[in-house]
Structure 1
Amino acid sequence: MVMGSPTSANAAVTYYPIAPGYSVNVRSGPGTQYSVVRTLAVGAHVPISCQRPGETISGPYGTTNIWDNIANGQYVSDAYVNTGSDGYVAPRCS
Structure 2
Amino acid sequence: MAGDTAGDTVAAEVTELAEVAVAATRYPVAPGYRLNVRSGPGTNYRLVKVLPYGSTVPINCQKPGERVSGPYGTTDIWDNIANGQYVSDAYVLTGSNGYVAVRCS
Q: TM-score, normalised by structure 1?
A: 0.88
Flag structure 2 segments of 5+ consecutive residues without an equivalent. 1-18
Match of 1:19 in 2: 30
Match of 1:36 in 2: 47
Root-mean-square deviation over aligned CA pairs: 0.8
Match of 2:84 in 1: 73
Q: Which has a greater percent of strand?
A: 1
**Residues paired across the two proteins, number:** 85
Larger Rg: 2
CA separation in 1, counterparts of 2:53 and 2:96?
Answer: 21
> Which residue identity lines up with residue 77 of structure 1 in the other structure?
S
Please tell me whether residue 85 in structure 1 is matched to residue 96 in structure 2. Answer: yes
Q: 4+ residue runs of structure 1 moved beyond 6 angstroms?
A: none
Q: Which has the higher contact order (CA 8 A, sep 6+)?
A: 1
Shift of 1:80: 0.1
Identity of aligned residues (%): 72
Q: SS of 1:16's equivalent?
A: strand
CA separation in 1, counterparts of 2:98 and 2:64?
Answer: 11
Deviation digits for residues 54-82 of structure 1 (CA, Å, limit 9, x no counterpart): 00000000000000000000000000000
Flag structure 1 segments of 5+ consecutive residues without an equivalent. 1-9
Please tell me whether residue 60 in structure 1 is matched to residue 75 in structure 2. Answer: no
Q: Which has a greater percent of helix?
A: 2
